[in-house]
Amino acid sequence: MNYALNDLKIMKNKLSILILMLCSFQLLTAQSIVHQENLCAKSKSSSLLRRASSSASATSLMQRYDMKFQFLDLEIQRDTNYIIGNVRTLAEVRTASLDTFVFELHNNYTIDSVIIAGNRLSFFKRTHDVYVPLPSPAIMGDIIDAKIFYNGDSPVGGFGAIGNGFSNGQSTRWGNKVTWSLSQPFVAYEWFPCKQDLMDKIDSTYFYITTDTPNLAGSNGLLKQVVDLPGGKRQFQWINIHPIDYYLISVACARYIDYSVYAHPVGSSDSVLMQNFVYDNPGTLPAFKGLIDTTALTLDYFSTIFGPYPFEKQKYGHCLAPFSGGMEHQTMTSQGFFEFTIDAHELGHQWFGDNVTCQTWRDIWVNEGFASYTEYLAIEHFYPADKAAFEAAVHDDVMSQPGGSVWFSDSTNVNRIFSGRLTYDKGGAIIHTLRFVFNNDALFFQGLKNYQNTFKNGTATALDMKATMESVSGINLNDWMNEWFYGEGFPTFDVSWNQVANQLYVNVSHSTSSSVTPLFKTPLELKFHSTAGDTTLRININTNSDNFVIQLDNKSIDSIEIDPNNWIINDGGARRDESLATSNISLKNQIEIYPSLVKDNVYINTFLNELCSVKIIDMNGNLVQNSTINGIAQIDMQQFAAGSYSVVVSNLSGKMIASQKIIKL
């Protein structure tokens, strides 16, 4: 008996959509969100630090072909780690000639046969690399059509990830037996023949899973049909039409029920199916239904800030499996349970990690750092009252140790790749700082959209992300990258201040927790508390000791708060120092002109108790505007044509004290 895809979908109508929104809104207003140990990191870390890598000869031979298609046709049960079946691979030769086809498969498996172009060929193994000499060399552009028949028990005690690439276990909370895969970063070869190369995405995949009739089996893409087979078995036929990296191919098999809902992204031509395989217990779906429904709303929101959901013609969904955390398998995340931040994190990976994948494991920040920041973005949108506490907890975790950088060189150390403190929390926190450096949310999120569009279906590095964000903002991000990404530690700010009449004298000095990075050049917000109303000003830190003179408007300052919106990982405090006065305050670094890419207004902060002249000069050297300001001002640029301009600030005696090039969009 066949079950067509459309028959498996739930019916959609306006009433069901309204009920979904109302239920989700009730859930959102009923709970509070706090930062906790990063469960995505926990699920991927292991005490086993390294894998048995392919030999140089095997790697060289595998780099000579490009993966085009894989068709996994396997029999899997929920109560055993035994696998039997075959995998067909289509690979295009990309060198002048190739005389040996090589793939990876763990020694635990017995290979019954390797068939290429209809011929059964001999093969030999060297550790986990399988070499298949070809009858005659394939030349550039030839398609190698290989089918590998194999069977065996998956290994126990694998390298990396959560123990094994392919696991069987039982949920301690619900009692269900489950078989599931988790291949990241190095262990896809523990359950299917593969090429583990991040840069060689497979153009498309089929996965036909045969299992006993009570079971459901989830995987990537769309469920084309479910076919009844003899002997009380049935086959789940999953079709994925998008490029996919080897570690994102997945399976989960258990006694599930299918709970499907729909997301409705603004601007999308159709709804997005959200197909969820939940344990077939009376209490499981009621326990998680509200969170699943909320994830549909989160997908709607992420589609507005990152660009359209990359796999909207297929689906998004989840399979429950008994491990602590989540794994962002493309279009169908595996999770141990549902929880708002982990749901947002794994969903965010569909953009950052799946659509665009890290080019090397050293670039894991473009996966995990950005997925971690999607947790904050989801909280900011749905639970704004909790965002400050959440980000403060992230910073506290980063500052629990003095050193450590987001960047690392050892791409075989699994615990370092998935460091909760550095890859996840610091990785996400410095993106929040990058947003602050932009000082323009429209440009910041446009940069993320451009990154998705430029590198979609492919891979990218941290430097690719930097270059994309620079091209959108016009900001040189070298300082930010060198200090926050490559650098170590964090600043401790010591702010001393004094008020004389309407003049506020401020000194901001900072030390750092690591000698690797002795200076953090960064914008910084100071919040001035007063009974007449609080004021927040943005200043630029350029040295380890910067001085500022700020003109107040008949306010008596009670205290100063450093970085009130948690933009920066930092420690420190502020105190009043009545010895500060004009005589010992230098007036350098007193001018701010921003942003460098202007749509509407350019802003100028002088922090000086004097009138200043501001001239706008076009690219031909023509003076197009001349005005006088005192303190803080904004200049309307909408009247000017697109192009380059210079903003020149001078004192009234004609001495230039600041100049900044800007681009009118």
Q: CATH number of the domain at 4, please.
A: 1.10.390.10
pLDDT at site 52:
52
Torsion of CA 240, 245, 247, 248, to 10 degrees: -40
Containing 592, the helix (H) or strand (E) segment is: strand 592-594
User: Are residues 535 and 517 part of one domain?
Assistant: yes
140 phi/psi in degrees, rounded to 5: -55, 130
Q: Is residue 333 part of a domain?
A: yes
pLDDT at site 584:
52
Tell me which of 605 and 306 has the higher pLDDT.
Answer: 306
Side chain identity, residue 552: L
**CA–CA gap between residue 345 and residue 40 (Å, rounded):** 8
616-665 residue pLDDT tens: 998 888 899 998 887 778 888 988 988 888 898 888 777 777 888 888 87
Do residues 259 and 288 make contact, with C-beta atoms less than 8 angstroms apart? no
| Radius of gyration of the chain measured on its C-alpha atoms | 29
User: Are residues 395 and 315 part of one domain?
Assistant: yes
Q: Is residue 61 part of a domain?
A: no
Lowest model confidence (mean pLDDT) among 16-30, 187-201, 420-434, 643-657: 16-30
**CA–CA gap between residue 554 and residue 71 (Å, rounded):** 73
pLDDT at site 124:
97
Q: Is residue 468 part of a domain?
A: yes
Which residues 6+ apart lie within 8 Å of 135 measured at CB? 119, 121
Q: What's the token pair of residue 251?
A: 């399976």
For residue 511, give its domain range.
Answer: 491-584
Domain edge (last residue) among 538, 559, 584: 584
Do residues 38 and 425 make contact, with C-beta atoms less than 8 angstroms apart? yes
User: Are residues 455 and 421 part of one domain?
Assistant: yes
Residue 319 pLDDT grade (very low, low, confident, very high; cuts 50, 70, 90): very high
**CA–CA gap between residue 372 and residue 596 (Å, rounded):** 28
Task: Centre a 10 Å sphere on the Cβ of residue 515 and count the other Cβ atoms it contains.
Answer: 10
321-348 residue pLDDT tens: 999 899 999 999 999 999 999 999 999 9
pLDDT > 90? residue 601: no
Do residues 627 and 652 make contact, with C-beta atoms less than 8 angstroms apart? no
Q: Is residue 400 part of a domain?
A: yes
pLDDT at site 53:
66
Q: Which of 527, 528, 523 is nearest to 499 (CA)?
A: 528
User: Are residues 610 and 467 part of one domain?
Assistant: no
pTM (2 d.p.): 0.85
Domain edge (last residue) among 466, 488, 510: 488
- CATH number at 645 reads 2.60.40.1930
- CATH number at 552 reads 2.60.40.1910
User: Are residues 552 and 615 part of one domain?
Assistant: no
Mean pLDDT of 287-306: 98
**CA–CA gap between residue 249 and residue 48 (Å, rounded):** 22
Q: Is residue 242 part of a domain?
A: no
pLDDT at site 498:
94
Instruction: Give the three-state DSSP class for 344.
Output: helix
Q: How many CA atoms lie within 13 A of 322 on its CB side?
A: 18
Mean pLDDT of 298-306: 98
DSSP letters along 57-87, please? HHHHHHTTEEEEEEEEEEE--TT--EEEEEE
pLDDT at site 43:
63
User: Are residues 413 and 557 part of one domain?
Assistant: no
User: Are residues 319 and 456 part of one domain?
Assistant: yes
Q: Which of 367, 222, 378 is nearest to 301 (CA)?
A: 378
Mean pLDDT of 121-131: 96
Q: Is residue 214 part of a domain?
A: no
User: Are residues 462 and 412 part of one domain?
Assistant: yes
Residue 350 pLDDT grade (very low, low, confident, very high; cuts 50, 70, 90): very high
Q: Which of 603, 608, 564 is nearest to 586 (CA)?
A: 608
User: Are residues 484 and 417 part of one domain?
Assistant: yes
pLDDT > 80? residue 362: yes
Residue 8 pLDDT grade (very low, low, confident, very high; cuts 50, 70, 90): very low
Which residues 6+ apart lie within 8 Å of 225 measured at CB? 2, 3, 4, 5, 237
Containing 438, the helix (H) or strand (E) segment is: helix 427-438
**CA–CA gap between residue 161 and residue 592 (Å, rounded):** 47
Domain edge (last residue) among 584, 603, 636: 584
Specify the number of domains making up the chain. Answer: 3
User: Are residues 480 and 366 part of one domain?
Assistant: yes
pLDDT at site 1:
39
User: Are residues 608 and 473 part of one domain?
Assistant: no
User: Are residues 429 and 553 part of one domain?
Assistant: no
Q: Is residue 382 part of a domain?
A: yes
Q: Is residue 88 part of a domain?
A: no
Tell me which of 143 and 4 has the higher pLDDT.
Answer: 143
